[in-house]
Amino acid sequence: MKTSNEYKESLRRMKPNIYKFGELIKDVTTHPSTRRTINGHAQIFDAALEPEYENILTTKSSLTGKKIIRYLSLIANAEDMIVNVRMKRLMFNLTGTCTGGRCVGFNALNAMWTTTFDMDKNLETNYNDRMKKWLIDAQNRDITISGALTDPKGDRSKSPIKQKDPEMNLNIVEETKNGIVVNGAKVMICGVAAANEIFIMPGTSYNEDEKNYAVSFVVPRDIENLTIVETRHPSDIRDQEKGFDNPVDIGGITQAYLLFENVFIPKERVFMNKEFNYTKKAVINFIALYRAAIGGCVAGQGDVMIGAAALMARANGLSEKTFKQKINQMIINNETTFGMGVAAAALGHKHSSGVWIPDTLLSNVNKVHVATLPYETKRLTQDIGGGIVETGCLPSFKDINNPKYGDLLKKYLKANCSSETRAKIARLIEWLTIGAGVPGCMHGGGSPDSAKIMINTKSNINHYIELAKRLADIKEDISIENKK
């Protein structure tokens, strides 16, 4: 297993193909736009060596028996899945934000493991074998793998082939003896800068006439003809500044647009090639895994918000007991998303491929919580923190250190601690609630509306109705005319 330095070295060896603000990023490990997210991902390697975290971050490979990082493992049972939820919480605790360059890939490879298994069984393909070979190799190389599902999609009221431009979803444009050629894009992809490889899978289910979109594969991040453009996020120019205005150096997020221009994928790395019938199940299994695990993410960031809020209370001279009920609510919010993830894990089932799939209903219920509860937690953090944290309402690092008036600012920023500490806490809360640390918990892993549709799909209204009829001894069947 790699050290964090070896990990960074592996990134440095790759060919630059990531841009931001119109410029090519030469070294992602040092460039201000990417180095924080890489620091965050590097913490995984460090923490894996600490006895305290070892059981969370590492496991034994079911393929080789060797000790591996958990992100490269197959999730085999409820316990594995619960540890996955814990791992996400831990990484948000350690980095303050998302280390998305690993967990989407982790979930995608598990989802596609089930799909390739099913395809091979039914279609006599050999996708699962390919995946197995690749995965053993990936475990041996101890690489980081981001995952990419979201297509640009274009006009949401039209299906992919009805778009003016049919390339709004990533698609296969050519098949050769040795592989396939793909065109299109995957957008808003987390943590690509921190990844050695990118695992691609469909972002939605497809019909027969859309089979060219039914594609899954894995590529090195620096593959030929792939251009990556990082999006800009709130306050991201502070990445380039010194001082505490960007308060966190050991974590950060990136989200990228991946532009595929006739990229050739060798067939050993292709895990789905037009088998449209299997896209739906692949996506549903991904969702079940992902939407259970994100409960840990937002709980992990919520933990940091509790700490930051309590710290600012103390900095202001107040005991956190003053805010007991608010902190209580924050804990409830965190434990709810965490707990629902655990519950989805506990009530899951084992797919015949050996992968454990969390309960779809609970997983999707949790997605709705993940899209609401953290917003209350953020609001409470700002409530406790006071005006100084709400919109980052304090002068810049440069001003606070200005020779002319900086001393006056320091004088007035002091409370029950030094002005610098108070400024750092204020900036941390800004970062967490309205700055660069805010992750995409609303739409990451799909929108809450899509989760609500899954919730309805997974609930049988007639079951509920029968319970009520039995209780009140109602025999009459009530039917509703089908109206147009």
161 DSSP 8-state letter: G
231 in the Ramachandran plot: left (φ > 0), alpha (ψ -120 to 50) or beta?
beta
Q: Looking at 250-359, list the stretches that DSSP marks H as alpha helix, in order from N- to C-terminal side.
A: 279-315, 324-346
Nearer to a second copy, 90 or 109 (CB): 90
SS3 233: coil
Of 175 and 307, the one with the shorter C-beta distance to a second copy is 307
d(CA 314, CA 306): 12
Q: How far is the CB of 7 from a second copy (least distance, A)?
A: 20
CB 315 within 8 A of CB 415: yes
CA 457 to chain centre: 24
User: Maximum CA pair distance of the chain?
Assistant: 85
Nearest approach in angstroms of CB 170 to a second copy is 10
CB of 28 to a second copy, least distance (A): 16
Give least dist CB 16 to a second copy, A.
Answer: 13
Q: How far apart are CA 447 and CA 450, in angstroms?
A: 5
Q: Which is nearer to a second copy, 167 or 275 (CB)?
A: 167
Q: Which is nearer to a second copy, 138 or 184 (CB)?
A: 184
Least distance from a second copy to the Cβ atom of residue 85, Å: 10
Nearer to a second copy, 10 or 396 (CB): 396
CA distances from 322 to 112, 293, 303, 313, 399 (A): 49, 33, 18, 8, 32
Sign of CA dihedral 150, 154, 155, 157: negative
Report whether 292 contacts 341 (CB < 8 A).
yes
Strand partners, 260: 184, 226
Minimum distance from residue 343 beta carbon to a second copy (Å): 4
The minimum distance between CB 252 and a second copy, in angstroms, equals 11
**Which residues are CB-neighbours of 309 under 8 A, at least 6 positions away?**
320, 323, 326, 327, 330, 380, 381, 384, 385, 429
- CA 217 remoteness from chain centre: 19
User: Closest approach of Cβ 371 to a second copy, in Å?
Assistant: 7
When the beta carbons of 62 and 316 are compared against a second copy, the nearer one is: 316
Q: What CA–CA distance (Å, rounded) separates 428 from 308?
A: 7
Nearest CB to a second copy, comparing residues 129 and 466: 466
Residues 278, 284: contact at Cβ < 8 Å?
no
Give Cα separations from 357 to 82, 291, 341, 363, 364 (angstroms): 11, 11, 12, 10, 13
**Closer Cβ to a second copy, 88 or 130, answer by number:** 88
Judged by beta carbon, residue 14 or residue 347, the one nearer a second copy is 347
Q: Which is nearer to a second copy, 131 or 432 (by Cβ)?
A: 432
As to burial, measured by CB atoms within 10 angstroms (0-12 exposed, 13-18 middle, 19+ buried), residue 402 is middle
Residue 109 Cα to chain centre, angstroms: 14
**Residue 274 to residues 112, 172, 331, Cα–Cα distance (Å):** 14, 8, 46
CA 165, CA 150: separation in Å to the nearest integer? 17
CB of 131 to a second copy, least distance (A): 28
Is the separation of the CB atoms in 149 and 108 below 8 Å?
A: yes
Half-sphere exposure of 267 (CA within 13 A, CB side): 11
Closest distance to a second copy from the beta carbon of 151 (Å): 9
Least gap, CB of 64 to a second copy (angstroms) = 29
Nearer to a second copy, 133 or 458 (CB): 458
Of the pair 85, 214, the CB lying nearest a second copy is at 85
Q: Min. distance of Cβ 11 from a second copy in angstroms?
A: 21
